[in-house]
Amino acid sequence: MKKSGNHLLKLNFVQLFLCFLCFGNANDLNIGCSDIEKKALLVFKESLTDPFGRLSSWVGEDCCQWHGVSCKSETGQVTKLDLRNSLQTNKAAQKKSALRGKINSSLLNLKNLRYLDLSMNNFEGSPIPQVIGSLRTLSYLNLSYAQLGGSIPPHLGNLSNLQYLDLHSYSDSSSKLIATDLLWLRGLPSLEYLDMGGVDLSAVTDWLQQVNMLPSLSELYLSSCKLLTFPFFLPFVNFTSLVAVDMSNNLFNSPMPGWIFNITGLKSIFLSSNNLIGTIPRAFANMHSLQHLDLSHQFLEGTVPGILGNLSNLKSLTLAFNNLSGNLIEFTDGLSKNNSLEVLDLTQNRFSGHLPDALGNLTNLRSLVLRENMFWGSIPESIRLFSSLQHLSLFGNPMNGSIPESIGQLSQLVVLDFGQTAWRGTISEQHFSNLTKLEKLEISSTSRKKALTFSWGSQWTPPFNLKSIIIAHNKVGPSFPEWIKTQSNLATLFLNDVEISGKLPDWFWSWCSQRIDDLDLANNNISGTLPRSLQFHYETNVYLISNHLEGPIPLWSNVRRLYLWSNSFSGPIPDNISETMPMLRDLDLSRNFLTGGIPSSIVKLKDLISLVLSDNNLSGELPQDWSQVQRLQVLDLANNSLSGEIPGSMGALHSLRLLILSSNSFVGEIPFSLQNCRGLWSFDLGKNKFSGKVPTWIGDSTPLLMILSLRSNLFTGNIPRHLCHLRSLHVMDLADNNLSGVIPTCLGNLTGMASEVQFEDAKRYEGNVMIVAKGREIEYSSTLPLVKIIDLSANNLTGKVPEEIIKLHRLGTLNLSNNHLTGSIPSNIGNLYLLETLDFSRNQLSGSIPPSLSSISSLNHLNLSYNDLVGKIPSGNQLQTLNDPSIYKGNPGLCGVPLTNKCEDDRMSSDPHGDGDDTGENNVIEMKWFYIGILVGFLLGFWGVCGTLLLKKSWRLAYFQFIDEGKEKASMFIAVSLARWQRKLDSSRSRM
């Protein structure tokens, strides 16, 4: 019996084993997919284009073997279709490898499909097919970044088994998904993951109420959805299973809602870029599960509450780009001893004070970013406790203390960013002793005093191998640091203004060409010559500005930007520059000693964006064909000896922003073809020999023009009224020509002269322009966007000074001198309250000088000489400091200070003879008696009262009687004296 049982057991085991072999792998037994499903997949394939052949395996009978297709092992039914574009590494690569076309409705025949992923492909803006809502077995649907468009079909609400839904869309794409309501979400009770980032939900006002109906939801991603409301209250919180929320980059403009703090299981909250207001709520104290909190790019104010430091599970805290202030003491004092914080980013707030020593309690910190605040002082010694720190940035803080040597113990440090600070003291080898993993080093100063000195031995071998080094405005030299050659991974080398002098080491250029992509050795005292030819390994940027380099211009291949200005290079520009340096985008050879002409090959550099050759000794005519440099934006050839006419082909430079040809010997008229350069910002042809009329198209075809300088040429005719259309113009210099006619009254429409300069505009590059202001010629460059000037001097203009020009409230210089203007100076000229230079000299202006002129407190240069002005010169305020008589010279009718010619009333008050003078003398005498009477009355009254209080009663009575009598006499004397003085003063005024 026992033997029979053993035999039966063995038989059952064999049967089970055979079943496993037979049915354990359906594919091995060729249980393939059905013909219906295979045909459905082939029809789906036919609706797509496949540039990378990703569906090339879709041949043969068994579709379960095809790429991206998975089947149920027992039945061969297709359950999974995963065609995610996994070949993509970036957006450009994704476009190349993406499947294109439309999603075919044949997928309906895949009756058991549970998993569908078509993400990262390109369905060219086609809508999500409604039939997808009929795939009722789906539990996973991913259509993210698939270039789908149109409205999301509510039929998706039929997918009651769905657990994962990802419809994330590119928010910056022309193909965008839109939803007008989210009611269909109620049909997805099992949904755990919802990502609709980038979908336009601006029309959905009840989005929170609908999402709240998903009880199983654990992850919610609604970033960049244009959500307008962020309700503060929620009657009940149904999605209590949430662990991750991302609603960043919306348009809430509200405080943080209170309901979010009822979801105590949240681990990740990402709310960046929502314009949230108010302070950081202290209710975060209850969110003990929180691991990641991002409240960056808001308008939050106040301090960082200490309770955030007490969240023991918090790993990353990002509060960058807010208006938070105060110090970090409260936060660091609240730190839990068991804190888990790994990332702390407080970039661009208003924090101040010393860095607290308690920061050392953040022993798990991997990234500490405190950029662009107002921290000062030194780094605390406790920094040595950051044993895991990889990224440390104090960029843009006024840190004016010392850097401790203990920073050299941060063995895990990869990025050390101390740029734009004010460190003092010495940096030695000890500061880097154990920084074996350091890849990026930046230490630059905001001060040119170079209070920080680097002290490295000539034989020092650093423990790190950097990829980037940026040291600026500190002291490194005079020798070039030899240890640089040990950095085999270096790609960026900036040693700007570090007092390096003499010649570079012999090994440098060969070593540099093999690895460096960005080289900046500007503002040093480097001398010698450069290698004539060199081949860099990649597109390289080279900045050797303001040194003492000499010799010919080098021809270096694979250079993208070459800046050699302010050196002593000489000789011609090489004729073969386009063949040797075809990648050039920016070339600046200004302020050298170059000779010869501009080679025609230079205008064959098809990628050229800026060409600056100003301040050399170049001569000859310009190249004739400019049609190949279509991308050129900046052309600056000022201060040379160039001649000839402007080629008409320059009109093909549609991208041109700055055209600066001043201080040469160009002739002829401005070519009509330049009207095609509609994007011009600066048009400077000053100090040449151009002739003809000022083109009217300048006002019509260059609406962005901000600088127009045509001074010192031979232009004739009237000032075109079309120039008044240039609403952005802030420099108009037409001085020293032969212009005639009247000044257009419409100049008051130049709103660029009246509007305040915006912060972003103040940083705009507008080139260098020579401007006559404050009585002398000044070259403006970095501050040029702030200059507002009208200079029409030295022409033949007639008529009046237009009253409308007073509308230009922010005008800094107004020069109308050396013309034939008549009439009076506008009475309300004081409304130009920012005026620094006013020159109306050498005209035929008449009338008096307006008193309002004295209210211009900024005025420091005034010239009204050689006119027909009359009357008394106004006094007071700023005019008191302008006491040079030459300001008013040549106006015989003017009188008063600072001229020696006194006005009539001044002579009457100072002449010792005549009735007027007798009256003046008598007035002085009586004024003396007036003050004497007041003094006597005060003394008698004060001591009379006090004295009588100290003496006998009879004395007090006698004194009171005496005081009464004295008071009456004094009152009578004062009254009579005042009456006489008043009568004589009135008599004196009547004679004036």
Q: Return phi, psi of residue 150, to 5°.
A: 80, -170
Q: What is the CA radius of gyration of the chain?
A: 41
Look at the alpha carbons of 674, 676, 677, 679 in this order and tell me if their dihedral is positive or negative: positive
Q: Is the pLDDT of residue 2 over 50?
A: no
CB hemisphere CA count around 785 (13 angstroms): 13
Q: Return phi, psi of residue 533, to 5°.
A: -130, 145
What's the confidence (pLDDT) of residue 13? 41
Amino acid at 374: M
Amino acid at 266: L
pLDDT tens string 320-353: 999 999 998 888 887 777 789 999 999 999 999 9
What's the confidence (pLDDT) of residue 761? 61
What's the confidence (pLDDT) of residue 963? 63
Q: Could you tell me which residues are beta bridge partners of residue 391?
A: 367, 415
**Residue 953 confidence class, pLDDT cut points 50, 70, 90:** low
CA distances from 151 to 138, 166, 181 (A): 21, 15, 10
Question: What are the structural domains of the chain?
Answer: 711-902 (3.80.10.10)
Q: Is the pLDDT of residue 770 over 80?
A: no
What's the confidence (pLDDT) of residue 447? 81
What's the confidence (pLDDT) of residue 991? 42
Among 111-115, 121-125, 284-288, 970-974, where is mean pLDDT lowest?
970-974
CA distance 598 to 614: 12
**Residue 952 confidence class, pLDDT cut points 50, 70, 90:** low
What's the confidence (pLDDT) of residue 3? 40
- Section 769-773 average pLDDT: 73
Q: Which is nearest to 377 in space by CA: 350, 402, 406?
A: 402
CA distances from 384 to 58, 372, 888 (A): 60, 23, 70
Q: How crowded is residue 273: how many other Cβ atoms within 10 Å of its Cβ? A: 20
What's the confidence (pLDDT) of residue 74? 86
Q: What is the DSSP string of 235-265?
A: S----TT--EEE--S----SPPPSGGGG-TT
**Residue 594 confidence class, pLDDT cut points 50, 70, 90:** very high
What's the confidence (pLDDT) of residue 449? 83
What six digits make up the tokens of 912? 């010792």
**Residue 945 confidence class, pLDDT cut points 50, 70, 90:** low
Q: Give residue for tokens 């994962």.
A: 164
What's the confidence (pLDDT) of residue 974? 59
Q: Which is nearest to 811 in space by CA: 838, 789, 837?
A: 789
Q: Could you tell me which residues are beta bridge partners of residue 636?
A: 612, 660
133/990: higher pLDDT: 133
CA distance 682 to 156: 56
pLDDT tens string 217-267: 999 999 999 999 898 888 888 888 999 999 999 999 999 998 999 898 999
| Chain centroid to CA 340 | 35
Listed in order, strand segments (DSSP E) in 737-826 are 738-742, 769-773, 776-780, 789-791, 796-800, 813-815, 820-822
**Residue 814 confidence class, pLDDT cut points 50, 70, 90:** very high
What's the confidence (pLDDT) of residue 538? 86
- The residues, ordered by sequence, that sit 6+ positions from 40 with a Cβ below 8 Å of its Cβ are 106, 107, 108, 109, 110
Q: What is the pTM of this model?
A: 0.80
Q: Is the pLDDT of residue 422 over 80?
A: yes
- Section 369-389 average pLDDT: 93
Q: Is the pLDDT of residue 170 over 60?
A: yes
Q: State whether residue 344 is helix, strand or coil.
A: strand
Amino acid at 169: S
CB hemisphere CA count around 695 (13 angstroms): 17
**Residue 922 confidence class, pLDDT cut points 50, 70, 90:** very low
- Section 38-47 average pLDDT: 95
Listed in order, strand segments (DSSP E) in 613-688 are 619-620, 634-636, 641-644, 658-660, 665-668, 682-684
CA distance 650 to 527: 37
- Section 744-754 average pLDDT: 92
What's the confidence (pLDDT) of residue 971? 57
What's the confidence (pLDDT) of residue 650? 96
pLDDT tens string 290-329: 999 999 999 999 999 888 888 889 999 999 999 999 998 8
**Residue 9 confidence class, pLDDT cut points 50, 70, 90:** very low
CA distance 513 to 817: 56
- Section 947-960 average pLDDT: 56
What's the confidence (pLDDT) of residue 239? 87
Burial of 492 (0-12, 13-18, 19+ CB in 10 A): middle
Q: Return phi, psi of residue 697, to 5°.
A: -65, -20
201/964: higher pLDDT: 201
Q: Is the pLDDT of residue 450 over 70?
A: yes
**Residue 917 confidence class, pLDDT cut points 50, 70, 90:** very low
Q: Return phi, psi of residue 979, to 5°.
A: -65, -45
- The residues, ordered by sequence, that sit 6+ positions from 907 with a Cβ below 8 Å of its Cβ are none
What's the confidence (pLDDT) of residue 248? 96
- Section 846-875 average pLDDT: 92
- The residues, ordered by sequence, that sit 6+ positions from 230 with a Cβ below 8 Å of its Cβ are 208, 247, 250, 252, 254, 257, 274
Look at the alpha carbons of 473, 479, 480, 481 in this order and tell me if their dihedral is positive or negative: negative
In the chain, % of residues over pLDDT 90 = 72
Among 203-207, 546-550, 693-697, 966-970, where is mean pLDDT lowest?
966-970
Amino acid at 508: F
**Residue 15 confidence class, pLDDT cut points 50, 70, 90:** very low
Say if CB 472 and CB 451 are below 8 A apart.
no
What's the confidence (pLDDT) of residue 495? 97
**Residue 767 confidence class, pLDDT cut points 50, 70, 90:** low
991/510: higher pLDDT: 510
Max Cα separation, the chain? Answer: 162
- Section 436-449 average pLDDT: 92
**Residue 903 confidence class, pLDDT cut points 50, 70, 90:** confident
CA distances from 105 to 108, 135, 157, 247 (A): 6, 11, 18, 33
pLDDT tens string 685-722: 999 999 999 999 999 999 999 999 999 999 999 999 99
Q: Could you tell me which residues are beta bridge partners of residue 846?
A: 824, 868
Mark residue 709 as left, alpha or beta (left: phi above 0; alpha: psi -120 to 50; beta: remaining). beta
Say if CB 138 and CB 114 are below 8 A apart.
yes
CA distance 585 to 905: 70
No. of helices (H) and no. of strands (E), the chain: 12, 61
Query: What does the H/E/C string look like for 27-49?
Result: CCCCCCCCHHHHHHHHHHHHCEE
